[in-house]
Amino acid sequence: MIERSMDGLLFFRGGRKLYACVAYNVTQTSAQVHSDELGLLPIDFYITFDKFRTIARCRLVWRYQNRIGVAFEKWVVVRGKVAGSDSDPG
């Protein structure tokens, strides 16, 4: 488990916006996430903590106001050059 907080971006299929979030108690299978920007949230969504090098497919487990519990269903390593990154040769 990662004890410190991690900044990330939350997004979902069909959405046109990225939502800033902070994750706590992160494991390979779950996390607690906080975001001030979320309104309605679908049950299935995605999170990245490393500027889209990896993306986690998530499922909503619980929600209380701006805090949500997520289960990571699948981690996807994005191949090729990451947009906006000069250090990744692709």
Model's pTM, two decimal places?
0.79
- pLDDT the model gives residue 62: 97
Percent of the chain with pLDDT over 70: 84
Average confidence (pLDDT) over 60-79: 93
Burial of 77 per CB tally in 10 Å (0-12, 13-18, 19+): exposed
Residue-wise pLDDT for 8-39, tens only, equals: 999 998 888 999 999 999 998 999 999 998 88
- pLDDT the model gives residue 16: 87
Asked whether the beta carbons of 34 and 59 are under 8 A apart, the reply is no
Asked whether the beta carbons of 65 and 55 are under 8 A apart, the reply is no
- pLDDT the model gives residue 4: 82
**CATH number for the domain formed by residue range(s) 6-77:** 2.40.10.430
